[in-house]
Amino acid sequence: MHPTDVAIRAENLSKVYKLYSSPFQLLVDKLGLGRFLRQAPGQHAALNSVSLDIRRGEKVAIIGRNGAGKSTFLKLVSGVSEPSSGTLDVNGKIHALLSIGSGFHQDFTGRQNVYAYLANQGVAGKEADSMVEEIIEFAEIEDYIDQPLRTYSTGMGVRLMFAASTVVVPDILILDEVLGVGDAYFAQKSYDRMQDMARKQGTTLLMVTHDIYSAIRLCERVVWIDRGRVIMDGKSKEVVAAYENSVKLQEEERLRIKSLRKKVAPAPLSPGGTAATQGPLSGPTVLVEIKPGNGMYFEAPFALSEVALFAGEERIAVWEADAAEAEQALIAEGSQWGGLVEENGVRAVRVKDHGNIFQKAALALSLESGSVPSDTPLRLGLAVTAPRPVSITTNLRADGIFLSSVPTEAGKLSGHREQMLFDLQPDEAQVSDGKNTGFAGTADIVLHEIKLVQNGRQTLVCESGVPFEIHAEYEIKNPDLAKEFELLVGIHADGVREICRVFAGHQRTPERKLGKLSIPMSDISLGNGEYSLSIAVAKSGYYEDEREIFYSINHDLYCCYIRHINTTMIGSSTFLKNPVLVYRANIISDQ
């Protein structure tokens, strides 16, 4: 990339804030006497070695949860704050909307604030008069422009600020959440203006938002920041898909930490019985998680009778289903433990293949030696009985150590006890734990062989305006499933922007465990372009209720295959040239 094409370049950019334990510590440090403190102030790295290039005219959204470092990055780029280390080169004139009301005086009228803003930009006289009228017209607040800014609603203030910031076309426009306050009409109007500025004027757009779906309407590139580091930087579709998946992983991590703090959350195993009394485990606790090797769900239920941890040839921890304290070690929350079973005289605990969004079985091991050796290869042994092949992987955590194994097929001999041994390897990126499979749900119902069919043939290229169908094979894993379910198909233009939903509510649950289903899409015409289709099956009433729980951590969602089918629509009709949803209608007159 040529240097003149770069609007913003950050190399190993870091911003570290000091954390003071008391006002006295703050005062002493600010007076330059910090060396005399008994305890030095703590530190928090809001940004940690961030490196990225943003080209001129590029539209980039920065996403991440609260405290990730998004706003800190914008403050550094806009010059509000100075970096602690690293280099930052910004080429061009910047207009930054970092907070509502910044740079505007609450006691001045809207008109006075706008004139003052333009004067600060070097615009005066007739040119300023013309721009003021343009700002008022775009903001649509003619009746209030001569009132003090303190009388404005938050949305009105955002309108005026945005209109003023974009009337003088900047080289770089920075937005921090402010458009999320306004109404949908003005937000769309603002998006259109920013698109025009980037396309015609070459303005670089850098925006921070929690509304990822609005951001990707405007930005073709998304940077995901978490804990001060760049987690992912790429095309909107790919980054958003990974970010969606991270919501479930964050909730899983929260439950994991909660379980480790409690040492053990016992699971009730006896039919009709209650959980065992909770008690502390002796020695350090190691968390063992058994997860699906395919990253989605277990292909079949299986039974676990023994888990053992080895350092070389020495066994350093063991769990056995027939031990008196077996129930105490099982972690109930977030796991799919079933009841106690006994086969061929061997006691085991059943692991279900459905019923939980996290799709795992977790237990806590107490180390016999009191610590995990750091220089000895670790292996995990399992004794498993499965009715048919099941692909599984394992994760182990202890005192910040994360080890994982490659997926392994278990239970090849139906009804027989398989002894399996996993080599555990360090996996700092936690790839096996965080890979995006495009699946969410409890797996109470799952779908196989999902495909698009048009004119009786499977295809990925469809003719626009011609009916098509979605075919799939279903499998009901939960024998106690409710009598009704709901199905939804979401259609995304360009693989990201959802433009249509096809909904089928109150569908009767089939009596057969295995079968086929067909979803006709005969009343939908899609314009030319690329689309992706998501398909979800949920508990009856799921889509009618007011939902505040994100879909990937909602236990009423049976299965969701996210952007599972990619298809291209082609056609010659003029009104089908763009990726849009087209409805055909008949006109009824009173002749």
Spatial contact of 217 and 194, defined as CB atoms under 8 Å apart: no
**Residue where the block lists tokens 């649950």:** 509
Spatial contact of 417 and 381, defined as CB atoms under 8 Å apart: no
Q: What is the pLDDT of residue 266?
A: 41
**Ranges 182-186, 222-226, 423-427, 523-527, most confident:** 222-226
Tens-digit pLDDT profile for residues 43-87: 888 899 999 999 988 999 998 888 888 889 988 998 888 999 999
Alpha-carbon distance of 124 to 169, in angstroms, equals: 16
Q: What is the pLDDT of residue 265?
A: 41
Residue 521 has pLDDT above 90, yes or no: no
* Whole-number Cα distances in Å, 218 to 233, 258, 572: 16, 39, 28
Residue 500 has pLDDT above 80, yes or no: yes
Q: What are phi and psi of 391, to 5 degrees?
A: -90, 125
Tens-digit pLDDT profile for residues 442-485: 999 999 999 999 999 999 999 888 889 999 999 999 999 888 99
Buried b (16+ CB within 10 A) or exposed e, 47-84: bbebebbbebbbbbbbbbeeebbbbbbbbbbbeebebb
CA end-to-end distance (rounded Å), the chain: 66
Per-residue pLDDT band for 356 (boundaries 50, 70, 90) equals very high
Per-residue pLDDT band for 122 (boundaries 50, 70, 90) equals confident
Give me the mean pLDDT over the 246-265 stretch. Answer: 67
H or E segment to which residue 453 belongs: strand 445-454
Per-residue pLDDT band for 259 (boundaries 50, 70, 90) equals low
Spatial contact of 82 and 2, defined as CB atoms under 8 Å apart: no
* Choice between 534 and 218, residue whose per-residue pLDDT is larger: 534
Give the side-chain half-sphere CA count within 13 A for 392.
Answer: 35
Instruction: Classify residue 148 by its DSSP letter.
Output: B
Model pTM score: 0.73
The bridge status of strand 337-343 relative to strand 330-331 is unpaired
Q: What is the pLDDT of residue 273?
A: 34
Give me the mean pLDDT over the 275-291 stretch. Answer: 61
Q: How many helices (H) and strands (E) does the chain have?
A: 10, 34
Q: What is the pLDDT of residue 570?
A: 87
Residue 2 has pLDDT above 70, yes or no: no
Backbone CA torsion sign across 28, 30, 31, 34: positive
Per-residue pLDDT band for 370 (boundaries 50, 70, 90) equals low
Per-residue pLDDT band for 519 (boundaries 50, 70, 90) equals very high
Residue 276 has pLDDT above 50, yes or no: no
Give me the mean pLDDT over the 545-559 stretch. Answer: 81
Q: Could you write out the DSSP letters of every residue in 478-531?
A: -TT--SEEEEEEEEEETTTEEEEEEEEEEEEPPSSSEEEEEEE-TT-EE-SEEE
Q: What is the pLDDT of residue 411?
A: 61
Q: What is the pLDDT of residue 550?
A: 80
What is the set of domains in the chain, with CATH numbers? 3-242 (3.40.50.300), 262-434 (no CATH), 439-576 (2.70.50.60)
* Choice between 549 and 489, residue whose per-residue pLDDT is larger: 489
Contact residues for 333 (Cβ-Cβ < 8 A; gap 6+): 255, 258, 259, 265
Q: What is the pLDDT of residue 100?
A: 56
Give me the mean pLDDT over the 100-122 stretch. Answer: 85
Per-residue pLDDT band for 299 (boundaries 50, 70, 90) equals very high
* Choice between 379 and 180, residue whose per-residue pLDDT is larger: 379
Residue 525 has pLDDT above 50, yes or no: yes
Alpha-carbon distance of 1 to 345, in angstroms, equals: 68
* Whole-number Cα distances in Å, 523 to 41, 81, 467: 65, 55, 7
Instruction: Classify residue 177 by its DSSP letter.
Output: S
Residue 260 has pLDDT above 70, yes or no: no
Give the distance from CA 503 to its chain's centroid: 24
* Choice between 30 and 12, residue whose per-residue pLDDT is larger: 12
Q: What is the pLDDT of residue 11?
A: 94
Alpha-carbon distance of 347 to 104, in angstroms, equals: 72
Backbone CA torsion sign across 267, 271, 272, 273: negative
Tens-digit pLDDT profile for residues 413-433: 555 677 888 888 875 444 334
Per-residue pLDDT band for 334 (boundaries 50, 70, 90) equals confident
Q: What are phi and psi of 314, to 5 degrees?
A: -90, 130
Per-residue pLDDT band for 264 (boundaries 50, 70, 90) equals very low
Give me the mean pLDDT over the 138-146 stretch. Answer: 91
Give me the mean pLDDT over the 145-163 stretch. Answer: 89
**CB atoms closer than 10 angstroms to residue 569:** 20
* Choice between 513 and 1, residue whose per-residue pLDDT is larger: 513
Q: What is the mean pLDDT of the chain?
A: 82
In the chain, what percentage of residues exceed pLDDT 70? 85
Written as six digits, the tokens of 260 are 């480790």
In the chain, what percentage of residues exceed pLDDT 90? 30
* Whole-number Cα distances in Å, 1 to 53, 54, 59, 98, 223: 9, 10, 17, 29, 19
Alpha-carbon distance of 540 to 556, in angstroms, equals: 9
Q: What is the pLDDT of residue 212?
A: 77
